Structure 1
Amino acid sequence: MFVQLLPLILVACLGHGLKQAGVLGPSDARAIGTLLTHLALPAVILKALATASITPELVYLPLSALVVVLGLTLIGLLTVRCLGWERARAGALVTTFPTFEGGAVGYPLMLLTFGEVGLSRIVLFDLAQAIYLLTVVYCLSAWFGQTGVTARAVALKLGQTPFFWAIVLGLLMNGLGLTHPAVLGLLDIVGGSFLLLVLLVVGMEFEVQIAGLGGYGLVALAKLSCGLGLGWLAAIAFGLAGVERAAVLAGAGLPPSLLTLFFTAENGLDSRFASSFISVAIPLYLAVMAPLLAGIAGAGPG
């Protein structure tokens, strides 16, 4: 598995190196991010869901995600209450802790380990989390930032998110059997840039405050451990096994969503905390989950 992951790590390092050398700047990161979120990621999601074999039992994947995010939200709120953090940092933790970066981290890992079947499963898991992120987490972030938030603002945030509509359209295409070779060929071409773009963005966004590295490591480890624990309980409760259980575990342990960087900045929260937390959580997640998923894949069904 490490040999398979090495090229991905090197591309992310390349993105970080280009940023440090001044070859790529903030405007380039925004342009790459736009291409990723508006073209490559939606194409990957559409192809995976349109061609997947979807049965009624798979409803337990988004239900499992809901169990995990609700649990992580409660843990995050209790933590900031016990620690007595100032509002900006407390809001940053509550905004980041219950969220998952599926598109940049979970999707590539499941695709690499289980192929398009694995990708389709983690996309279904991510459906509930995506809605929760763009509604509940967005409102919590605004509340901690003491920013007025309305139902219209939440609806606009949801409606302006391409990957949410890609999930809806992918499920619709699957249900109607709209899998024309020309459409799939187009999605393959557009989605073919997904890994390159996402790894460049991850590398360019990597930023850690060295002075607080140990603290961020503990927070990242707590999120990973709590997520995996909740994911395991949900998978057992819903009777999930094989690639479905792997999707739940891969999703539940994910580092925080990159979208939370925009939420914290928009609401005047501690964005440096969010960026450092994410930067530490991504390599920790890969170090733990890559061998775990490889072991599940090697064990086969059951």
Structure 2
Amino acid sequence: MLIQLVPMILVGCIGYGLKRAGVLGPGDAKTIGRLLTHLALPAVILRALATAAIAPDLVYLPLSALLVVLGLTTIAGLRLRWLGWNRARAGALITTFPTFEGGALGYPIMLLAFGEVGLSRIVLFDLAQAIYLLTVVYCLSAWFGQAGVTARAVGTKLARTPFFWAILLGLLLNVLGATDALLLGLLDIVSNGFLLLVLLLVGMEFELQLGEGWRYLLLALAKVGAGLGLGWVATMVFGLDGVERAAVLVGSGLPPSLLTLIFVQENQLDTRFASSFISVAIPLYLVMITALLALPLG
């Protein structure tokens, strides 16, 4: 697994280096982000789900994700009671802590480690988290930012999220068996650039406030550690093993979703806190998940 992750880390470093050298700037990061959000990521999800062998008992994957995100939300809420942070930083924590960055990290890791089967399993796991992120977390972020949030706003957020529709369409195509060589060939072409684009973007978004680095490291340890612990409990409760157990553990320990940066910015919360937290959590997660996947998960 380490050999498979090293190229990913190197591409991320290239993205960071290109940003530091001024070759790529904020405008380029936004363009790459749009390509991922509206094209590459939906194509990867659609192909994985449309061609996967999906059994009824795989419903335990999204149920596991729901258990984990509810647990992480509870932990974050309890921490806020004694941290004494201002509203902007508290809102940034409650927005980031319960979420997973599946598209940028979880999907490529499961794809490299277990192939298309592994990718399909983590996409199913991520389904519940994606809905939770775009509803509950979105509402919490808006509340801390003192912005008005309505059912219509939540519905609009879901309707404008391409990967959400890709999940639903992929499941529908799977049930109907409506895939052919032309569709799969098109999806292959579009999704081939997914790994390169997402890893470049992760490197470009890397940012850290060095003076408070140890604080973010402790917070990242708490986030990844609590997620892995809750994920392990979920695998025990639902009796998951093999690739399904790996998908839950890889997914549960993920750093915060990059999409939360948009929520934090929209609601005028502490953007520097959120970006620094994510930047520390990503390399920590890669180290921990590499060690975890070296262990037998069957």
What is the TM-score of this pair, normalised by structure 1?
Answer: 0.97
Say if 1:255 and 1:278, in contact at 8 Å, map to a contact too.
Answer: yes
Question: Quick one: distance in 1 between partners of 2:291 and 2:71?
Answer: 25
1:256 aligns with 2:256: yes
Q: Deviations over 1:245-273 (max 9, x none)?
A: 11001110000000000000100100100
Q: Deviations over 1:103-122 (max 9, x none)?
A: 00000111111111000000
C-alpha displacement of 1:2: 2.2
1:206 aligns with 2:206: yes
**How many residues in Structure 1 have an aligned counterpart in Structure 2?**
298
Which residue in 1 is equivalent to 2:15?
A: 15
Which residue in 2 is equivalent to 1:215?
A: 215
State the AA in 1 paired with 2:50. Answer: A
State the AA in 2 paired with 1:289. Answer: I
Say if 1:109 and 1:290, in contact at 8 Å, map to a contact too.
Answer: no
Question: Quick one: distance in 2 between partners of 1:55 and 1:2?
Answer: 31
Question: Quick one: distance in 2 between partners of 1:5 and 1:235?
Answer: 24
State the AA in 1 paired with 2:292. Answer: L
State the AA in 1 paired with 2:37. Answer: T
State the AA in 2 paired with 1:44. Answer: V
C-alpha displacement of 1:6: 1.5
Question: Quick one: distance in 2 between partners of 1:271 and 1:115?
Answer: 35
C-alpha displacement of 1:293: 1.7
Q: Deviations over 1:232-252 (max 9, x none)?
A: 111100111111011001110
Which residue in 1 is equivalent to 2:65?
A: 65
Which residue in 1 is equivalent to 2:197?
A: 197
- Which residues of 2 match residues 107-122 of structure 1 at below 5 A? 107-122=107-122
C-alpha displacement of 1:3: 2.0
Question: Quick one: distance in 2 between partners of 1:243 and 1:132?
Answer: 23
Which residue in 2 is equivalent to 1:82?
A: 82
Which residue in 1 is equivalent to 2:31?
A: 31
Which residue in 1 is equivalent to 2:162?
A: 162
TM-align CA RMSD: 0.8
Q: Deviations over 1:152-181 (max 9, x none)?
A: 111011110011000000000100001201
C-alpha displacement of 1:295: 2.5
Which residue in 1 is equivalent to 2:144?
A: 144
SS at match of 1:156: helix
Say if 1:228 and 1:249, in contact at 8 Å, map to a contact too.
Answer: yes
Structure 2: 5+ residue stretches without partners: none
Question: Quick one: distance in 1 between partners of 2:15 and 2:196?
Answer: 10
Say if 1:113 and 1:294, in contact at 8 Å, map to a contact too.
Answer: no
1:245 aligns with 2:248: no
Question: Quick one: distance in 2 between partners of 1:169 and 1:101?
Answer: 21
1:126 aligns with 2:126: yes
C-alpha displacement of 1:39: 0.7
SS at match of 2:22: coil
C-alpha displacement of 1:4: 1.7
State the AA in 1 paired with 2:75. Answer: I
The runs of 4+ residues in structure 1 deviating greater than 6 Å are none
Question: Quick one: distance in 2 between partners of 1:194 and 1:218?
Answer: 31
Question: Quick one: distance in 2 between partners of 1:241 and 1:267?
Answer: 40
C-alpha displacement of 1:294: 3.4
State the AA in 2 paired with 1:216. Answer: Y
Question: Quick one: distance in 1 between partners of 2:115 and 2:295?
Answer: 15
Which residue in 2 is equivalent to 1:290?
A: 290
C-alpha displacement of 1:8: 1.1
Which residue in 1 is equivalent to 2:101?
A: 101
Question: Quick one: distance in 2 between partners of 1:105 and 1:179?
Answer: 27
Question: Quick one: distance in 2 between partners of 1:105 and 1:36?
Answer: 13
State the AA in 2 paired with 1:131. Answer: I
SS at match of 2:294: helix
Which residue in 2 is equivalent to 1:187?
A: 187
Question: Quick one: distance in 2 between partners of 1:3 and 1:175?
Answer: 36
State the AA in 2 paired with 1:172. Answer: L
State the AA in 2 paired with 1:278. Answer: I
C-alpha displacement of 1:187: 0.5
C-alpha displacement of 1:291: 2.6
SS at match of 2:295: helix
C-alpha displacement of 1:83: 1.1
C-alpha displacement of 1:292: 1.2
Structure 1: 5+ residue stretches without partners: none
Identity among equivalent pairs (%): 74
- Which residues of 2 match residues 44-59 of structure 1 at below 5 A? 44-59=44-59
